[in-house]
Amino acid sequence: MKAIAVERGEDKPVVIEKPRPEPDAGEALVRTLRVGVDGTDHEVIAGGHGGFPEGEDHLVLGHEAVGVVVDPNDTELEEGDIVVPTVRRPPASGTNEYFEENQPDMAPDGMYAERGIVGAHGFMSEYFTSPSDYLVRIPRSQAELGFLIEPISITEKAREHAYASRSAFDWNPSSALVLGNGSLGLLTLAMLRADDKGYEDLYCLGRRDRPDPTIDIIEKLGATYVDSRETPVEEIPGAHEDMDFIYEATGFPKHAIQSVQALAPNGVAALLGVPSDWEFEVDAGAFHREMVLHNKALVGSVNSHVKHFEAATVTFTKLPRWFLRDLVTGVHPLSEFEAAFEDDDTTIKTAIEFGTV
274 is in an annotated binding site: yes
| List of long-range contacts for 108-111, beta carbons under 8 Å, 24+ apart | none
Asked if 140 contacts 34 with a C-beta cutoff of 8 angstroms, the reply is no
**Whole-angstrom Cα distance, residue 273 to residue 261?**
18
40 is in an annotated binding site: yes
Helix 149-164 to helix 183-193 angle, to the nearest 10 degrees? 60
Asked if 206 contacts 232 with a C-beta cutoff of 8 angstroms, the reply is no
Q: How many Cα atoms sit within 13 Å of 214 on the Cβ side?
A: 28
355 is in an annotated binding site: no
300 is in an annotated binding site: no
102 is in an annotated binding site: no
**Whole-angstrom Cα distance, residue 155 to residue 346?**
24
Assign 57 to helix, strand or coil.
coil
Assign 185 to helix, strand or coil.
helix
302 is in an annotated binding site: yes
State CA 135 to chain mean position distance. 17
List all residues 6 or more positions away from 9 whose beta carbon is below 8 Å from its beta carbon. none
208 is in an annotated binding site: yes
- Output Rg (C-alpha) for the chain, integer angstroms: 20
Dihedral sign computed on CA atoms, order 93, 99, 101, 106: positive
31 is in an annotated binding site: no
The one-letter amino acid code at 279 reads E
174 is in an annotated binding site: no
Asked if 111 contacts 103 with a C-beta cutoff of 8 angstroms, the reply is no
181 is in an annotated binding site: yes
Which value, to the nearest 10 degrees, does the dihedral of the CA atoms of residues 297, 302, 308, 311 take?
A: 60
301 is in an annotated binding site: yes
**Whole-angstrom Cα distance, residue 67 to residue 263?**
40
Asked if 258 contacts 188 with a C-beta cutoff of 8 angstroms, the reply is no
Residue 333 preceded by cis peptide, ω within 30? no
273 is in an annotated binding site: yes
184 is in an annotated binding site: yes
Binding residues for NADP(+): 181-184, 207-208, 272-274, 301-303
List residues forming the annotated binding site for substrate: 40, 114, 150, 303
| Residues that constitute the known binding site | 40, 114, 150, 181-184, 207-208, 272-274, 301-303
